[in-house]
Amino acid sequence: MNVHTPTTMETTHTPGPWNIIKLATPEYSPEYGIYAGDSQNDLARVINDNSAANALLISAAPELLATLIECVESGRLSPLTPNTVKSALSAINKATQP
């Protein structure tokens, strides 16, 4: 399997943090908006049976990416520094805890 390794780890996505808001939709059809920082403009809307869990995961994307980049750029994936572990756990919690 070929894996592309970029020479620089620059990102061009909308910077985090990304936040979630439950939109005014019926409980049988929940819908969530993903927003960057204090912006009132949504980056995405999540509509489906697993919308709450998917919105959590999407909103954690900037932190997950930043932590992964930190791991790769450090030149070693193990052992991880305490700060990297803390960042990883924080991103995992954001992605999985309502």
pLDDT digits (tens, 9 = 90+) for 18-75: 999 999 888 888 999 999 988 878 889 999 889 999 999 999 998 888 887 777 777 6
Q: Are residues 80 and 51 in the same domain?
A: no
What residue numbers bound the domain in which 64 lies?
60-98
Q: Are residues 75 and 54 in the same domain?
A: no
Q: Are residues 67 and 51 in the same domain?
A: no
In a domain, residue 10? The reply is: no
pTM (predicted TM-score): 0.71
In a domain, residue 88? The reply is: yes
pLDDT bracket for residue 76 (50, 70, 90): low
pLDDT over threshold 50, residue 3 = no
Whole-angstrom distance, CA of residue 8 vs CA of residue 73? 9
- Of the two residues 87 and 19, the one the predictor is more confident about is 19
Q: How many domains does the chain have?
A: 2
Q: What is the mean pLDDT of residues 4-29?
A: 76
Q: Are residues 54 and 66 in the same domain?
A: no
For residue 26, CA distances in Å to 47, 54, 65, 68 come to: 12, 18, 33, 37
